[in-house]
A = this chain, B = another copy of it.
Amino acid sequence: MRVAIIGATGYTGGELLRLLAKHEKIEDIEIASRTYKGEPLFKVHPHLREIYKDLTFISPDEVDSDLVFTATPHGASLKIVPSLLERGMKVIDLSGDYRFENLEVYEKYYKVKHPGLPEANIAYGLPELFRKEIKKADLVANPGCFPTGSILLLAPLVKHNLIEERVIIDAKTGVSGAGANPSEVTHFPNVNEDIKPYKVVDHRHKPEIEEKLNKLGKVRVSFTPHLAPITRGILTTAHTFLKENLELEEILKLYREFYKDESFIRVYEEIPKLSYVRGSNYCDIGGFAIDDNLRLVLFSVIDNLVKGASGQAIQNMNIMMGFDEKEGLNIIPLNP
């Protein structure tokens, strides 16, 4: 099989290449970037030197593959994806452009006019909840990093209607989520020895989490992300209120049941750590506890560049193409 990556110069592009190198069904890879056209891969991704010999950036227009990953900024995908679909390629888009059913919400949060969804089977690429839709899709909208950790963390509670409608998500992310381009926000002395809240009520991932969770049950999401002085990983802390008292064992059992057939979800009692999933496609869920206000607190951890982006994209590809869902994703976490 032949795949292409458009926008292969960023972190998600690099991670797709790391993972695809071990994917048994991949026969050929195209990497496209307008800026780096003609340059060898290792100029942009020095860690991949010797891994892909002779791979060179081509222009996005030259792409001709069975499936294309568009790791392009939001807004840019809107311009590229329809023509790829028209030319018969399957597309997995890593931007926010095709994640929303409600395009008004998209336009409000992304400040971009949406031209409307293309005529195609479109699925939201969170396999644990939408595997059936993904299987039939021509275009998969790969979820945002925060939504992946948040939705997987809360889905069983919402589905089983165990918690009050108002849910608080206090998320902590590594800096690689901000991408490979430097800015004041990512300037080392601004990040180091600090932990910084940002977009504290209006982050774009808030409505994404809300739209998808509401397919399972009624929920109103309050979402606040924090930038932590780490490179990889998202810890999601969910503060919820139980409708009625429950034993922790019941909740744990319910989670284990909910995810029992999932290869990439690990549910356990202990508090999860970023290092338990680093570099891998796992989402670990644990640390369940209830206090005397009937607050249930629980946690998930993901590698934002893997399960939160490129790993999940390959998981989606495997489903779309009928491959083993774990193919190329048997990565063991790097700890410490």
Contacts of A182 in B (CB 8 A): 182-184, 186-187, 190
Tally of this chain's copies: 4
Chain A 216-230: CB-based contact to B (< 8 A → 1; otherwise 0): 000011111010111
Q: Does A246 contact B (CB under 8 A)?
A: no
- Complex CA gap A135/B49 in Å reads 29
Q: Does A82 contact B (CB under 8 A)?
A: no
Contacts of A201 in B (CB 8 A): 289-291, 295, 297
Partner of A170, one of B170, B174, B273: B170
Q: Does A196 contact B (CB under 8 A)?
A: yes
| A162 → chain B closest CB, angstroms | 17
Contacts of A271 in B (CB 8 A): 196-198, 200
CB within 8 Å for A336 and B11 given contacts A22-B330, A188-B187, A235-B195? yes
17 extra interface residue pairs, beta carbon distance < 8 Å, beyond A46-B335, A195-B195: A14-B335, A48-B333, A50-B266, A170-B237, A174-B189, A175-B188, A175-B192, A176-B189, A182-B183, A186-B189, A188-B229, A192-B230, A192-B336, A193-B230, A193-B336, A201-B295, A222-B297
What are 18 A-B contacts defined by CB distance under 8 Å?
A: A11-B189, A14-B335, A46-B273, A168-B168, A170-B237, A172-B195, A186-B189, A189-B336, A190-B336, A193-B231, A193-B336, A200-B299, A201-B295, A220-B292, A222-B297, A224-B239, A228-B228, A229-B230
- Complex CA gap A73/B330 in Å reads 32
For A11, A180, A197, A297, the residue with the greatest tally of chain B CB atoms inside 10 Å of its CB is: A197
Interface stretch among A143-151, A249-257, A274-282? A274-282
A164 nearest CB neighbor, chain B only: B166
Task: List the 5 shortest-distance A-B pairs measured between CB atoms, nearest first.
Answer: A189-B336, A201-B291, A47-B335, A182-B187, A47-B333
Contacts of A183 in B (CB 8 A): 182
Q: Does A332 contact B (CB under 8 A)?
A: yes
Chain A 194-206: CB-based contact to B (< 8 A → 1; otherwise 0): 1111101110001
Partner of A172, one of B172, B230, B330: B172
Q: Does A287 contact B (CB under 8 A)?
A: yes
Contacts of A168 in B (CB 8 A): 168, 239, 295
Partner of A237, one of B45, B46, B226: B226
Contacts of A222 in B (CB 8 A): 239, 291, 293, 295, 297
Is there an interface contact between B237 and A334, defined as CB atoms closer than 8 Å? no
Number of interface residues of A (CB under 8 A): 83
Partner of A332, one of B48, B190, B197, B200: B48
A11 nearest CB neighbor, chain B only: B336
| A51 → chain B closest CB, angstroms | 6
- Complex CA gap A293/B176 in Å reads 30
A51 nearest CB neighbor, chain B only: B332
A170 nearest CB neighbor, chain B only: B170
- Complex CA gap A172/B197 in Å reads 11
Q: Does A80 contact B (CB under 8 A)?
A: no
